[in-house]
Amino acid sequence: MKFDHIGIPTTEEREWSAYLADCKLHVSDYSKDPFRVEWLKFEEGSSMPKELQIGAHIAYEVENLDAALAGRQVLIEPFEPKPGVRCAFILHLGLPVELMQKV
C-alpha cells in the first residue's frame, strides 16, 4: 500500500476539478496540492455515505483492489471515477479509507 491523498469535506467554495452529478459531489484535484489534499463539497441530497460527508478519508494505492478488499467492511463497492483508476471505500476502525488501483 502506498499513500495517495487525503480527502476532506468542506462547505467552502474551492477550485473544483470535477463534479460527480450522480453523487452531487464537487471534487478538487489533489495532484495539484503539495500535501495531496482533496477537497469534497457534498450537495444536499448526496447519495454518498455520511461517513464521507462528515469526516476525512485517507486514500492508498494498492496493487490488487479485490485482494485488498477481502475481509474488509466495504462502504462503497468498486467503481471507476476516471479512466484507468478503480477504487472502493472501506471502514477501518470507523474511518473511511479509499483503496485505489491503477488499471
CATH number of 2-102: 3.10.180.10
Per-residue pLDDT, 46: 97
Strand duo 57-61 + 2-9: pairing: antiparallel
- The tens digit of pLDDT for each residue in 3-60 reads 999 999 999 999 999 999 999 999 999 999 999 999 999 999 999 999 999 999 999 9
Domain residue spans of the chain: 2-102
Per-residue pLDDT, 72: 97
Claim: this prediction has a pTM higher than 0.85: yes
Cell for 45? 441530497
- The tens digit of pLDDT for each residue in 50-94 reads 999 999 999 999 999 999 999 999 999 999 988 999 999 999 999
Per-residue pLDDT, 55: 95
Q: Are 71 and 91 contacting, i.e. CB atoms less than 8 angstroms apart?
A: no
Per-residue pLDDT, 81: 85
